[in-house]
Structure 1
């Protein structure tokens, strides 16, 4: 949703007559002979206005340029000139400036100047122009709406909500302002208020596909996947070509574990909007949950880079800084909050050697929390960059003279990979947040380990793989974790297997194997906990999948989310043995289960996403829980379930075992990372050394 542009309204019949006059060559010839330029300008303006309104910007441009070149152009002419340029994707600020030079109090031109600045990524100038337009005309609803949307881009949802409310007080029917207000409320955690805002808009505009799409987004955030699906399908019924609705529906289907349908929807969204890098990234993320071979995944990621990154002109090459200066490390992420990435980043930030490294963090997320505050306190320099476009972000990183940029999102939500195509740092690295290659040659290295990426894995990565000797992750145990408890099997008399991974990872193949395990251990139960299971239809679908393998519903316990992180961890007290999904293993869920004393059984796959479980268990010397194939997976789980006393011993000692392992040795891990960074830097500044 872009800015609302405004142009002077002209009487339709008068506009037509003047336009027809402009098309009459004899009339134009007489004008030149009799010195009647003003009439010619008015006629050309009217012709250009009609052509502009028809969306034929390439035809409107020479018409309005003739009017402007006459020397007698009005402020309206200059304003329309700017609008046509914006329509063609060309810089337009000078044209609106010319309109304001003729008529300084021209509020429409001031508003449109804001849009011109916005198109160039000049967000602060855009905000100032929208505020100036409101100053000139306090009842200017469109300018207030544009200001509200700009403040969202700048990460100021509270101010955005106020501006959007002002727009709605002036024009209650302004749909864009209603959506801006709902987004602002959502970003402040006011989901119920956001839904009420959208419903108010739908009461008078039920045929608006964009409103239904946004309602679907809200319902998904609230965990109402069935409601989200219904709203998104309604949006598509109204507008089958709405790419964002196809993408939103795909995300809902992915949450429900419907991988085939999700992939189809992502591909349709990409067909409709082939230049949308984020839709394309979402498709790549979806493919990681599938049994897709490594060669096909590399090809898919390379296709993303070819479409969205290869043609980006890089900034002038960064010059190495003098050796005496500390190396500047920049961490770029959309997950500086309570998120899996934060668990593994925080130990690194906390233990960096500040005598050798200067730390910068670039936050693209717009939902800070207490974890954000903690991370921010550990960074030497903090930059909020959600309001910057890709070129601006690249220039900001370059202006900070970052030596090594570490990208933490990959193709997950909030990523800014397109900015890295500008090569803002001399060395650029991928780590932690995404279990595959980015496909980009602009990323020099990807940090992994010898378990996740054994010999031969380099063939499936566009980056050079750097394998850390002690493992590629370091886990920060939560401060508010409850105490461990004995295995529930001791009191219940039967073993409870379980998984707290999201349903995207619980594929039909996983269900089939877990059902086979329940047949092998007849009295056992299976507990699955996931946010998506708060939705009744999703839970019923999962029950049906297990029923298809002969598993009675009474042997399954399906839970949605619980209130509070401590309560989430406490739920592990109901598990005896955790089951790792495949081909996309758990990471944080595995570490949480182990910290709470629950052993994890994993199946080592043939690519990074399916070998993270093996990497984590290797770090704590639990190799006997790593299976090479499905048959061994079943054997390991059944063996653990058959020996409750040994299970209890493992449980009692697991937290101490983790604490003593390299998985939780933050100082040692940080030294390995810093050594890797210094080697990367040496290779960059002295390639032949």
Structure 2
């Protein structure tokens, strides 16, 4: 039978209770009263000791285990609190005790057990909001976000004005990418509590996710009025302003963070990215190196390499920097690699996985979509996607419909992603990112598949020894020219990748120079590809043609001022520049109506931009150099028989521009026939890219099945002609 204890309100005189304990040291009641009085005075440790002594003398004192459990929980002694709650539950099956045990188990990192206790509490007290909150906490710890929603909504039925629950519901909806509903929750929170900092901040984050950048920035600025100089919110604001193209303002915000926290890695990365977008390469690289030093991660390293690929003119240096990535991040993982259980059958259908964060309305999708579409009917290739992004749109749905398997890995760490890929039995795993954003190269460093390759997403090597192959064509990596810049074995295809022209592109217009009487050069490349050296080369061409003009498209706020200044420093006045802001796709294509010849930057040229220009009848004049990223422009131009527009010499570059200005009739004829030329080239036959890639994958797979090491390979157009082509492995 339990012994009851009465605690009169007059019992807060601690000295009185100490005297009672001294007079009756074996009186459980006296120790209990002293312990309770001490707890009320917030003297937790001595109070806990008093309750423990009381329970040693009389383990059946009613309610004392529960009080002790709560005190132990509050003091952070969670393992002891668990024991006390379990003791209390032996005497009373009460909702508050089950809830307390659930909260304790959560602190001990045991959310599954916590969930069971919280559910029992909610069953015993279905109208108790606190029990539902504990259940929600247990589900949240297990990332079971969909199951959280009905729990929060039931709690709000019981307590409609519970601000914390309303906010947590919004945060859960945000995590589920249901941003419209999340915004409704945050609005309801702010109606109850207008100065709720987190509601303003997360309103901004949801608006940012919806690409409503102006409204997002306003919400984040309101949050900063409530908590000035909150560093994380400042970083959110900087990123939002950057996404909205307000680069000078973004720059100021990131600098504000660094004034307070000089080594804040988010601000360093953000500021580096803004400087890079403004074409300030040297400062961007310096900041990226500093970010890598203070917070070394594979992703910080990739960011640095991406920038270097745009500005490094020394092939050996660029290669060394990329190989250092593999040495730093791949080497520690090599010993932990596991063998592969894949069946070595060269005749079976090959399970090919593609890893990307760009399978939405993104440039990469223009290249892979025709291949995925062709592969859906393949008897040799079974395509599976591992998508590393939250963004989904119509293009995402198109990709999803064309493949056998679709897995989201954006929330999975490398352990879980590797386990998933192995469980799916992927034979060949293909990276579509390289060192660009949202890459999962550390996952490839673990070698989750027997054969691994990189394709399309990056102009250069990954630097990983575990990346067996790089897939390209002979124009992107000409024979023996850049081979030593790759850790991968080079697979040369008849067509490295197809290109989908813009379906709703306007028709090609007549050459503008015929009406203008002068040539208009143009560039639609992002400003991060430009530099003082690029502008200096373009200025030489403009000086050679004093009547020519230069159109600069796709500009963001702040970039135009920088470029105008650079041109003026090279002696080219503002009156010769046509500045065009970034616009939606159809208007972007229409901007080509003003351009006779596009100019490519260096050392990082481009692909998609050149493809769009060609579809609008505009060829690109480009120089190539010592690093492989400079070669990208050649792929489009050479496939169309326009390789004479590519040169390695700046003097020849200028002479070519002058020659075109003197031969506008030939340029006009070329423009008028460009789409026909495009469609008659291999670029107009996406099936060539798909067939070449399929044959290359079969050969790569056959080598692994035979126990042979990866070697350079070549697939030619002649290999694709006979239906029964010999697919034996052929080293290049």
TM (normalized to structure 1)? 0.84
Displacement of 1:438 in angstroms is 2.1
CA contact (8 A) 1:178 1:197 kept: yes
1:252 matches 2:270: no
Equivalences for 1:73-92 in 2 at 5 Å?
78=101, 81-82=104-105, 84-85=107-108, 91-92=109-110
Deviation, 1:370, is 3.7
Query: What does residue 429 of structure 1 align with?
Result: 453
Does residue 353 of structure 2 align to residue 330 of structure 1? yes
Is 2:293 the counterpart of 1:279? no
1:294-443 equivalence runs, <5 A: 294-305=315-326, 311=332, 317-320=340-343, 326-352=349-375, 353-443=377-467
- Checking the alignment, whether the CA contact within 8 Å between 1:530 and 1:561 is kept in structure 2 is yes
- CA deviations on 1:33-85 (whole Å, 9 max, x unpaired) are 665998799678757745xxxxxxxxx6xx43244345537657645655554
Does the CA contact (< 8 Å) of 2:313 and 2:625 recur in 1? no
Looking at structure 2, the residues matched to 474 and 431 of structure 1 have their Cα atoms a distance apart, in angstroms, of: 12
Structure-2 separation of matches of 1:365 and 1:552: 43
Change (3 A) 1:324 1:135: farther
Identify which range, 280-289 or 373-382, moves more after superposition: 373-382
Q: Distance in 1 between matches of 2:328 and 2:637?
A: 38
Query: RMSD of aligned C-alpha atoms?
Result: 3.5
- Aligned 8 A contact 1:348 1:669 in 2: yes
Moved more, 314-323 or 551-560: 314-323
Superimposed CA distance per residue, residues 633-682 of structure 1 (whole angstroms, 9 cap, x where no aligned partner): 22222222222122222222222212111222211121100001111211
Q: Which residue of 1 aligns with 2:18?
A: none
Contact residue 117 and residue 125 of structure 1 kept, 8 A = no
Query: In 2, are the aligned partners of 1:154 and 1:386 still within 8 Å (CA)?
Result: no
Task: Specify the SS of the correspondent of 1:611.
Answer: helix
Q: Deviations over 1:603-637 (max 9, x none)?
A: 12222211111222221221211112222222222
Deviations 1:499-545 (A, max 9, x none): 1101111111111111111112222111111232xx1x321221111
Q: Which runs of 5+ in 1 are unaligned?
A: 1-9, 51-59, 86-90
**CA distance, structure 1, for counterparts of residue 111 and residue 647 of structure 2:** 63
> How many angstroms apart in 1 are the aligned matches of 2:349 and 2:253?
52
**Could you tell me how far apart the structure 2 residues matched to 1:309 and 1:14 are?**
57
Q: Report if the CA contact (8 A) 1:107-1:134 is conserved.
A: no
Identify the range of structure 1 (600-609 vs 288-297) with the bigger mean alpha-carbon deviation.
288-297
Q: Shift of the alpha carbon at 1:161?
A: 3.4
Which of the numbers 93, 101, 104 marks the counterpart of 2:111?
Answer: 93
The residue aligned with 1:598 is 618
Residue pair 2:360, 2:395 contacting (<8 A) in 1 also:
yes
Please point out which of 265, 272, 289 is paired with 1:243: 265
Partners in 2 of 1:170 and 1:306 — Cα distance?
54
Contact residue 278 and residue 559 of structure 2 kept, 8 A: yes
What does the per-residue CA deviation read over 1:295-352, in whole Å, with 9 as the maximum and x for residues that have no partner?
A: 4434444444555555565576342376675323333322222221122112212222
- Which residue is equivalent to 1:293? 314
Structure 1 residue 466 and structure 2 residue 483: aligned? Answer: no
Measure the CA separation in 2 of the matches of 1:126 and 1:358.
36
Distance in structure 2 (CA, Å) of the matches to 1:298 and 1:123: 44
1:547 aligns with 2:568: yes
CA distance in 2 between partners of 1:426 and 1:12 (Å): 65
In structure 2, relative to structure 1, the CA distance for the partners of 1:434 and 1:510 (3 Å cut) is same
Tell me by how many angstroms 1:478 deviates. 1.8
> Residues 324 and 160 from structure 1, CA distance in 2 versus in 1: closer, same or farther, beyond 3 angstroms?
farther
3-state SS in 1 of match to 2:626: coil
Decide whether aligned partners of structure 1 residues 604 and 129 sit closer, same or farther in structure 2, where only a CA change above 3 A counts: farther
In structure 2, the gaps of 5 or more residues are: 1-35, 89-96, 126-130, 709-728
Task: Return the alpha-carbon distance in structure 1 between the equivalents of residues 153 and 322 of structure 2.
Answer: 42
Moved more, 162-171 or 240-249: 162-171
Q: Which moved more, 1:630-639 or 1:154-163?
A: 154-163
Residue-by-residue CA offset, 1:407-429 (whole Å, 9 max, x unaligned): 21222223333444454433332
Contact 1:153 1:387 in 2 (8 A): no
> 1:496 maps to which residue?
520
Q: SS at 1:526's partner residue?
A: strand
Q: Distance in 2 between matches of 1:438 and 1:296?
A: 15
Change in 2 beyond 3 A, CA 1:311/1:69: farther
Secondary structure of the structure 1 residue equivalent to 2:439: coil
Distance 1:11 1:141 in 2: 33
- 1:72 maps to 2:87: yes
Match of 1:574 in 2: 594
The one-character-per-residue Cα deviations of 1:229-260 (angstroms, maximum 9, x if unpaired) are 23333344454443222222222222111112
Give yes or no for the alignment of 1:588 onto 2:622.
no
**Residue of structure 1 equivalent to 2:5:** none
Cα 1:261–1:111 shift into 2, 3 Å = farther
Is the 2:356–2:386 Cα contact (8 Å) retained in structure 1? Answer: yes
CA contact (8 A) 1:114 1:128 kept: no
- Tell me how far apart the structure 1 counterparts of residues 151 and 340 of structure 2 sit (CA, whole Å): 34
Determine if contact 2:527/2:559 at 8 Å carries over to the other structure: no
The whole-number CA distance in structure 2 between the counterparts of 1:127 and 1:339 is 32
Aligned to 2:699: 679
Aligned to 2:203: 181
Residue 683 of structure 1 and its aligned partner are, at CA, apart by 2.0
Q: Secondary structure at the match of 1:317?
A: coil
Structure 2 vs 1, CA of residues 18 and 542 (structure 1 numbering), >3 Å: closer, same or farther? same
Secondary structure class of the residue paired with 2:603: coil
Deviations 1:159-206 (A, max 9, x none): 443444455455544433433333323333333432343233233233
- Structure-2 separation of matches of 1:155 and 1:30: 53
2:292/2:301 contact within 8 Å kept: yes
Counterparts in 2 of 1:441 and 1:95: CA distance versus 1, 3 Å: farther
Q: Which residue of 1 aligns with 2:244?
A: 222
Question: Relative to 1, partners in 2 of residues 1:394 and 1:521: Cα closer, same or farther, differing over 3 Å?
Answer: same
Q: Is the 8 A contact 1:452 1:614 kept in 2?
A: yes
Other-structure match for 2:582: 561
Asked whether the 8 Å contact 1:528–1:559 carries over to 2, the reply is: yes
> In the TM superposition, what is the alpha-carbon distance from 1:388 to its structure 2 partner?
4.0
| Cα distance in structure 1, aligned partners of 2:72 and 2:139 | 25
Q: Distance in 2 between matches of 1:151 and 1:304?
A: 37
Contact conserved, 1:110 with 1:130, CA < 8 A, in 2?
no
